[in-house]
């Protein structure tokens, strides 16, 4: 794999455009549109995450541009599973990216055992996403 870049996100960055942003769900505009090269597959993973609120139970970190994963009988665009406020991303997984163009990123946090329930959402959430393009030909 080569062609790597990082995106730094925080829940306060685009509050003027998205006033409903909070530390549990936010959309951030990127400074410029990112066009992912059409050849090869693109992947993303979370390399760092600091939530603006305390977790008492496991939560999913979800993202709008990720390919969906099967969770029971549902599909969700999961980036990773979080266990602690200052999340140490243990064994981060590369998740396929379903879009070829990004101008904004939507991130949200959802409890594993009760998707409609979310902890107190105060503070600022920070995330660093790493993107990589897989240029290997896997048809061999």
Per-residue pLDDT reduced to its tens digit, 121-130: 778 889 999 9
Q: Judge contact between 29 and 107, C-beta under 8 A.
A: no
Hey, which residues does 130 pair with through a beta bridge? 6, 45
C-beta atoms surrounding 103 within 10 Å: 12
Q: What percent of the chain has pLDDT over 90?
A: 39
Distance separating alpha carbons of residues 42 and 63, to the nearest angstrom: 15
- pTM, to two decimals: 0.84
In CATH, the architecture of 2-134 is Sandwich (2.60)
Distance separating alpha carbons of residues 50 and 86, to the nearest angstrom: 5
pLDDT given for residue 104 in this prediction: 95
Q: What is the pLDDT of residues 30-53, one digit of tens each?
A: 999 998 888 789 999 998 888 888
User: With bands split at pLDDT 50, 70 and 90, how would you rate the model's confidence at 1?
Assistant: very low
Hey, which residues does 60 pair with through a beta bridge? 81, 110
């Amino acid at each position: 794999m080569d062609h790597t870049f990082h995106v730094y996100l925080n829940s306060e960055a685009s509050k003027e455009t998205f006033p409903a942003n909070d530390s549990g769900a936010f959309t951030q505009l990127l400074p410029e549109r990112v066009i992912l090269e059409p050849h090869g597959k693109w992947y993303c993973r979370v390399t760092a995450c600091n939530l603006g609120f305390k977790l008492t139970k496991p939560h999913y970190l979800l993202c709008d541009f990720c390919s969906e994963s099967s969770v029971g009988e549902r599909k969700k665009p999961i980036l990773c599973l979080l266990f602690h406020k200052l999340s140490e991303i243990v064994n981060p997984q590369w998740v396929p990216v379903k879009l070829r163009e990004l101008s904004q990123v939507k991130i949200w946090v959802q409890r594993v055992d009760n998707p409609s329930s979310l902890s107190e959402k105060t503070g600022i959430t920070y995330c660093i996403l790493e993107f990589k393009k897989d240029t290997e030909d896997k048809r061999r």
